[in-house]
Chains A and B, each alone.
Chain A
Amino acid sequence: MAEDLAGGVAGAAASVDPDGPDGVRMTWNAWPRSKVEASKCVIPVAASIAPIRASPSLLVLPYAPLRCKPPCAAVLNPFARVDFAAKIWICPLCFSRNHFPPHYAAISETNVPGELYPQCTTVEYAPPPIDAAAAAIPPPVFLFVLDTCLIEEELGFVKSAMRRAIGLLPDHALVGLVTFGTQVYLYELGFSDLSKIYVFRGTKEISKEQILDQLGLSAAGLRPGTAGASGYPKARLQANGLLPSGSVNRFLLPASDCEYALNALLDELQTDQWPVEAGNRALRCTGVALSVAAGLLGACIPGTGARIIALVGGPCTEGPGMIVSKDLSEPVRSHKDLDKDAASHFHKAVKFYDNLAKQLVNQGHVLDLFASALDQVGVAEMKVVVERTGGLVVLAESFGHSVFKDSFKRIFEDGEQSLGLSFNGTLEINCSKDIKIQGVIGPCTSLEKKGALCADTIIGQGNTTSWRMCGLDRSTCLTAFFDISPSERSSQPGSTNPQLYIQFLTNYQNPEGQMRLRVTTVTRRWVDGSANTEELVEGFDQETAAVVLARYISLKMEMEEEFDATRWLDRSLIRLCSRFGDYRKDDPASFTLHPNFSIFPQFMFNLRRSQFVQVFNNSPDETAYFRMLLNRESVTNSVVMIQPSLLSYSFNSPPAPALLDVASISADRILLLDTYFSVVIFHGMTIAQWRNMGYQNQPEHQAFAQLLQAPQDDAQMIIRDRFPVPRLVICDQHGSQARFLLAKLNPSATYNSAHEVAPGSDIIFTDDVSLQVFYEHLQRLAVQS
């Protein structure tokens, strides 16, 4: 089974935790000391961090952290040098000497606080609340935004999903409802006489102030603190303690109070009644709906974590955020259009969503996007809001599909399956002084907190040492990029510390509503000079490197025009191999790689063929979706996105990982492919025939039944742990669905393959180069002088 597998790519949950207790993985675990050396390393120095990953061994300290003196402000950690006699500790990052405060008076070598235990490089502080107001635990807030421009059947699916969600909501959770089609309907759930709905037109962009005015919230709702990030904590305190009552009660009600009303409303909810002319799309004002939702939350509960859960069933065709006109003769923009700058609505829509993102980030609210449609709905435009606020995103074909249904349910589930949805996160990074921070890729927003640690070059959300994550969960993962810029003095060998330190501080409100501060301090070794290649090689993490490169190249593809990703990848790989390979010049045959690099070229081969680089196989929506997940998933999962894992099931041998190669196909095998987004069970021809004949139902063929069942069970295990729930495809060899597998396999055998194909095996109709050819070229180019 999965645990037995080598490579560790298949079952992240069950196998040894590759991320370690800190949840930090770096491309290089030994860092080049100089800028020049770093650039020679080709792969950027970066860390993938999972700020609030669940960890059974996590130590929670019920008191406030001890901080180094400003501007460092690093938190006391096991790497600090402590002088127990003098009651002094020396910060490993800035080397300042700090006195322990009086309540640490009892400290001694035999009596150290938790944060100094050597194994506790990651600890979490849960300081007691400052006052009663802060102690009040805010209820979770869910504002549902439902698309009604749907066919009857889809709306039925939405309703049943909503009903299930309402059933799962904790009683005290505040719930609000917005529906939209041609217009936006905001339900005043707190109005008892009859169903009261505020209607906003879809064509007109309305400012937040206008929304509040029109809802009668402007007087009660606006707090000074919401204006900017600086006043934010204050606003939160107010909100936590005394919710501005009137406005909240009108639109957001505890689930227990409004369950009946909500169900009644859902019963009567109709598809949008505005007429759709022939040859036109339905008028759908997603943009206005989202700004109304954002405005409402901003007025009612600024600073308190809240989710806008948007269920969108089609493209926005009206008002701000519109991605395509209502005329069906105009197709939704493709990558080609974007490339040629022919998508007329794209930039306007992105700008609108960008502003919406700023507003939501200011308010501390999250947008979750559930898009279910056969056509695109505008995920590419909305990506910015979802990603900046740390929202969840699920893209499915239908609201009836399990990808949507099961994922949607997961949000509200408690316990083992819980996503651990948290709010109001801020991440700070502190590091040794020769290190500068270039930026972060992932679901967060820069707080624009500039400092000495900021690098000149920016990658992703940069120019800051602090980021906001309005929403984050256990699997949330960020990639921080570092620049090495040693000062003159520190570059003199021998005079400095051989270790470098980085501290990640994550402040967040956990699912229970308590404020927590998680502190992770990591240390790595410096590698001096260019001679010590060996050390660098030893410290290389090829999985992380592949993932970081994938994230980095995705970003570059989005940000840089005319960026040739394949070429850039190829050249990087060649440079890397030239630098770290073992070879004789101009002798390809002599080329070998250290085991730490051995699968890296294969990762690159697959990355080149992946949806992240070959975007033209996908719609912009899909690409945006894939990239958002790539950016926020753990390294292990991200590797699967780049290079799917393939398991083979047969009578002859236990389940075993198989080569991601067309040669793995065999008539008497079952293959299980995990591409992260989908899980494919592929029955070889013979297996399929047996199954169709029903052998598995005959007692004498128990073994066959077990063989059929094994991949199913494994697939379910994968699906259970994953969010969004992957699409499960069950197919047979030569069936039409088999394309889901074939597309991912190395085309070692194509229709122009010269050699013969083994019986029962398969070929792929493609002109793509196979891995073998790729390797040959790589070797040849790497050894060139």
Chain B
Amino acid sequence: MASSQPFSSVPPRPRPGFSLSPNPTPSSTADALQNLQIGRVPPPSAAPSAAAGPFSSPASRPGPPPPAATLSRPGPPPFASGHPTTSGLPTTSASITSNGPPAFGLGAPRFPPPPPAVQQPPPMGAPASIRAPPQALVSRPFPGSSPSVALPSSQPFMGPPPSSQPYMNPLPSSQPFMGPPSSRPFAGPPSSQPFAGPPSSQPFGAPPSSQPFGAPPSSRPSGGPPSSQTSGGPPSSQPFVGPPSSQPFAGRPSSQPFMGTTTPFRGTLASSSPFGTPSWQLQTQQGAPPMPGTMQAPPRMFGMPPHMPGQPMAPVPPVTGHSPLAGHQVSTPSKIDPNQIPRPVPNTSVVLFETRQGNQANIPPPATSDFIVKDNGNCSPRLMRCTMNQIPCTGDLLSTSSMPLALMIQPFALPHPSEEPIQVVDFGESGPLRCSRCKGYINPFMRFVDQGRHFICNLCGFTNETPRDYYCNLGPDGRRHDADERPELCGGTVEFVATKEYMVRDPMPAVFFFIIDVSMNAIQTGATAAACTAINQALVDLPEGPRTLVGIATFDSSIHFYNIKQASQQPLMLIVPDVQDVYTPLHTDLIVQLSECRQNLEQLLDSIPNMFENNRVADSAFGAAIKAAFLAMKPTGGKLLVFQSVLPSIGIGSLSSREAEGRTNVSSGDKEAHKLLQPADKTLKTMAIEFAEYQVCVDIFLTTQTFVDIASISVVPRTTGGQVYYYYPFSVLSDPAKLYNDLRWNISRPQGFEAVMRVRCSQGLQVQEYSGNFCKRIPSDIDLPAIDCDKTIMVTFKHDDKFQEGSECAFQCALLYTTVYGQRRIRIINLSLPCTSMLSNLFRSADLDTQFTCFLKQAANGIPASPLFQVREQTTNLCINILHSYRKFCATVSSSGQLILPEALKLLPLYTLALVKSIGLRNDGWLDDRSYWVSRSASLSILLAVPLVYPRMISIHDLASKEDDGSLLSATIPLSSEHINDDGIYLLENGEDGLFYVGNMVNPDTLQQLFGVSSVDGVPTQLVLQQFDNDLSKKLIDVVNETRRQRCSYLRLRLCRKGDPSALFFLSYMVEDKTPGGLSYVEFLVHVHRQIQTKMA
């Protein structure tokens, strides 16, 4: 295939050879990637009704009646009150205040010109529409309705449908969010507060604090009046606030609103099939953003990163490694300039990274940046990355630095499309050359001596004899003549063809076994249908050929297998009713070649939802079902894909609803609360270990609307190299598309089976621990029934000896696995780093992303084991200790009043703060959400670890004005609510969820362009994005598709409206804000600084 093609259309297509097979999967991989893009989904039946008449929901449009101003407050107040300095953004306050009063004719003066601080052009639509009401008041037919309803003048902005029925139209009951607010216009307020008395009635609009509306905005604290908080409380004091339902934020857990919204739509979707196949094809075309500057701009060498001008790779850095932050004289917090504190700056241009230069390891670019690797000795940092790019000579030095020494290994990480493929080397019968003592594999750092007759192992130092047929003379530089021709001698990553010696049996076939929950709940929520459809569509993406075997089973309180062999006319359903002591019902024919059964399987998948349509069995025998499926797969091993919808309630491994127990415990502050994040018992763990032994990998798709005890369930995928997918609350409207894409990616991504991995390192270090999704039976190796491109394994090290200054420490990861096409391979990933005895070198070469990922994983591991506050404290202390070490030993600036951050780790405090506030570590996290977070963190790659806690937020409303140079995603906004404007739309994504936040002052035009509705009030929070024929919408789709591509994940899109419970969820990601349970970013810096000072003292 033409190598230039892949990345003109879909960037990270794996190169030929990546898939480890002569006939690689690039196309399938690419397809799968493309498929992550969103398509023109037929609008769900609910959508048209909303779109048809933007005015059909006048009552909800009014979002901004006077009280709405206060309604939207709950988000900002916490940070606002604690953060007076941010008042430099008057826009926020201005626009907020503007919401109310204009209705009374006071609008005009109330709108100061948008200050320059706000980049986006002033949203003209909003003021205009709001200003209009005074005229409208005259013609208003219903004087009683709330002011905002009266927006006839805003019609022009609304786009095509000039709705003539604004008030007549009864509220459609199908609009979920309408419920409470709808009562507003007709309820109390009108009668008690007729509009007849415009200006005189002003008092009621005033908050109890009696702050007059006329007060100049500038005089108000940016966060809005504290009074507004209280105004939410006693509605009686504010007639317009009247309906209590208008306080959606009152103490509700953030997840709840989303639960609520799903229900109204349940009925509508079955027919509308939002993920029909054709639509996907459509999408692939539209959503293929050109690779940002792939070839156009010559990639720069990484050696000169823009933001590290003083840090070339020169051996002796002329500048000290630290960078005291400008204006960071934090002796008084007020002096911190919030705009100057460190934040991630996305790097938009592609750099070329040579892993080694001049026989020295190069410091890799940040994991999150875009780079092309040239492997000349060390592996690509995508595959393996160390927390520090120089290795401390002694253990003492390491502990002084307080930094972790760990490798993040992602053996199948997707390469950049223009990178060279990994070479496959066949040593023939003899197998790859290895050190005879430590069994390390031949690599570029093995030194050939004695005219090439011997070679010295770089791992254990043993001198081996060169085999006769591998002998080659040395050149004058001491290298073998053939070094550059032999991939294993010049490349950091290489793959060997495994010989019989590496097989205990023939390489296993690619087995995919699907089991689907068909209990009452699963059927009724549409989860079963979604799963069946997803599988049916994904079948085409399974690897072709006779080695691909499939099987299927369903289960409720018993397990139903199917004999789908083509030979039999009718598929047979075989029921295993004994869920306490399961067995497999047939010896053969449960797992058959895909080519033999495709037709039968498709028919079966079509009919399963109908077959169980009236199923009244509420019990779900999850444990028994996976065990039974395992028994069927035992002879071969393979992937077991489970679609589970409710708490496993019967049979082996059944679970009880610990959630209720957890609630009482949390409220009583029980110290044992974290135990609920541990597996309920050992049953599933024992099963999982057995699965792993027989090379069965379990992936679980949780399409649920209730508690399912992920803490217990996730043990199975964790132990078997699988993964948990979590769709909560499952929405039949929006989730099937994600389910399908997740499944499709799961089966088509680059992966290997029956893998064993071992990491070796130079003498002086030893492996301390492996961490990730695997099963460990012997201390030195980890067993991975399956390993794929998304999985990362963390390996920590400890010193057992000293290194010589100037020597190099080598790491070698060896992964023995079977490709989906049945070849046995050994992937060798080498990394050799210089050793140093200088602490400053350690800090300079520290790898922030890797270190942070390490912290994240350690914190995740700690969550089930210790009380939350301890985990948070430990996490914070890790950060403090590192900074303290740096301050104490490396900082040249002696002013004790300065918080000095090492340049490489300057974002560590921010990420640490974000981590502490993440779902996993927050107090108010729901049990399952936290368990899921923990389980996800376990195998998370570096690339996704940062966004998980510090998501990426970009503005959407102004996309059209941005340059379409592929950098649409780079204009990120700090995660602080002060950067959120009421007239803006924002997309926040963390690699899993994509949240659209819509302010309450957004130009309806923009909404129309993006979502096809002029008001988001009726739109469900479970968003199904469509492309409309306008530039803005196209760009949005591009952005979303690019994000999906980058994250290898089809985001779960949700809509968060200001003034709505959904907004709380969004705001919980504003990690820089002060929250009831956490510090703001500035405060945190102060806290860290104080702690360091205390330690110094």
Contacts and interface: CB of A to CB of B under 8 A. Distances in A.
Q: Do A and B come from one complex?
A: yes
B581 A204 contact: yes
A777 interface: no
Contacts of A195: 570-573
Interface stretch (A222-230, A267-275, A429-437, A444-452): A267-275
A273 B574 CA distance: 14
Q: Which 7 A-B pairs have the closest CB atoms?
A: A214-B577, A199-B585, A201-B583, A274-B587, A196-B573, A198-B575, A195-B572
A22 to B, nearest CB: 51
A195 B611 CA distance: 12
B576 interface: yes
24 contacts: A191-B573, A193-B611, A194-B570, A194-B607, A194-B611, A195-B570, A195-B573, A196-B573, A197-B574, A197-B585, A198-B577, A199-B575, A199-B576, A199-B577, A199-B585, A200-B578, A201-B581, A210-B578, A214-B577, A215-B577, A268-B570, A268-B572, A273-B586, A273-B588
A206 B588 CA distance: 25
A185 B587 CA distance: 13
B659 interface: no
Interface string A367-401: 00000000000000000000000000000000000
B574 A199 contact: yes
B119 interface: no
Contacts of A213: 577
Contacts of B561: 199
Contacts of A182: 587
Q: Per DSSP, are chain B's interface residues mostly helix, strand or loop, or mixed?
A: loop
Contacts of B588: 273
Interface in B602-646: 604, 607, 610-611
Contacts of B894: none
Interface string B413-443: 0000000000000000000000000000000
Interface residues of B, number: 24
Interface in B557-596: 558, 561, 568-578, 581, 583, 585-589
B783 to A, nearest CB: 27
Contacts of B570: 194-195, 264, 268
A183 interface: yes
B649 to A, nearest CB: 15
Given A183-B583, A204-B581, A197 B589 contact: no
Q: How many A residues are at the interface, by size bracket?
A: 20 to 34
B583 A275 contact: no
A448 to B, nearest CB: 34
A213 B557 CA distance: 11
Contacts of A215: 577
Nearest to A201: B583
Q: Per DSSP, are chain A's interface residues mostly helix, strand or loop, or mixed?
A: mixed
A194 B572 contact: yes
A276 to B, nearest CB: 10
Interface string B538-573: 000000000000000000001001000000111111
Contacts of A197: 572-575, 585
A268 B568 contact: yes
A191 B612 CA distance: 11
Contacts of A198: 574-575, 577
A75 to B, nearest CB: 48
A59 to B, nearest CB: 52
A526 to B, nearest CB: 62
A273 B572 contact: no
Contacts of B587: 182, 273-275
A387 B627 CA distance: 41
Contact of A185 (B569, B574, B578): B574
A271 to B, nearest CB: 12
Contacts of A193: 607, 610-611
Nearest to B576: A199
A275 B586 CA distance: 11
Interface of A: 182-183, 185, 188, 191, 193-201, 204, 206, 210, 213-216, 264, 268, 273-275
- Which one of B576, B578, B607 has the highest number of Cβ atoms from chain A below 10 Å of its Cβ? B578
Contacts of B575: 188, 196-199
A597 B662 CA distance: 91
B760 to A, nearest CB: 42
A264 B571 CA distance: 12
B578 A214 contact: yes
Contacts of B578: 200-201, 204, 206, 210, 214
Nearest to A191: B573
A199 B563 CA distance: 13
A198 B589 CA distance: 16
A17 B581 CA distance: 59
Given A200-B577, A268-B570, 9 more contacts: A188-B575, A195-B573, A197-B574, A214-B577, A214-B578, A215-B577, A273-B588, A274-B587, A275-B587
B558 A214 contact: yes
- Which one of B561, B575, B589 has the highest number of Cβ atoms from chain A below 10 Å of its Cβ? B575
A12 B558 CA distance: 56
A746 to B, nearest CB: 55
Contacts of A183: 583, 585
A273 B585 contact: no
Contacts of A273: 586-589
B527 to A, nearest CB: 20
Nearest to A192: B611
Nearest to A261: B570
Nearest to B581: A204
Contacts of A274: 587
- Which one of B561, B586, B604 has the highest number of Cβ atoms from chain A below 10 Å of its Cβ? B586
A275 B584 CA distance: 14
B569 A268 contact: yes
A199 B1076 CA distance: 57
A644 to B, nearest CB: 48
B888 to A, nearest CB: 68
A201 B576 CA distance: 9
Contacts of B604: 194
Contact of A194 (B558, B573, B581): B573
B877 to A, nearest CB: 55
A194 B569 CA distance: 10
A198 B561 CA distance: 10
Nearest to B585: A199
Contacts of B576: 199
B516 to A, nearest CB: 15
A194 B575 CA distance: 12
A301 to B, nearest CB: 20
A194 B571 CA distance: 6
B225 to A, nearest CB: 64
Contacts of A206: 578
B532 to A, nearest CB: 14
Contacts of B607: 193-194
- Which one of A198, A206, A264 has the highest number of Cβ atoms from chain B below 10 Å of its Cβ? A198
A534 to B, nearest CB: 70
A550 B203 CA distance: 116
Contact of A264 (B569, B574, B577): B569
B659 to A, nearest CB: 28
Contacts of B610: 193
Interface in B848-899: none
Contacts of B611: 193-194
- Which one of B561, B571, B576 has the highest number of Cβ atoms from chain A below 10 Å of its Cβ? B576
Interface string B333-352: 00000000000000000000
Contacts of A200: 577-578
Nearest to B580: A210
Contacts of B568: 268
A183 B583 CA distance: 10
Nearest to A195: B572
B997 to A, nearest CB: 46
A197 B570 CA distance: 12
Nearest to B560: A196
B921 to A, nearest CB: 45
A194 B607 CA distance: 10
- Which one of A188, A204, A268, A274 has the highest number of Cβ atoms from chain B below 10 Å of its Cβ? A268
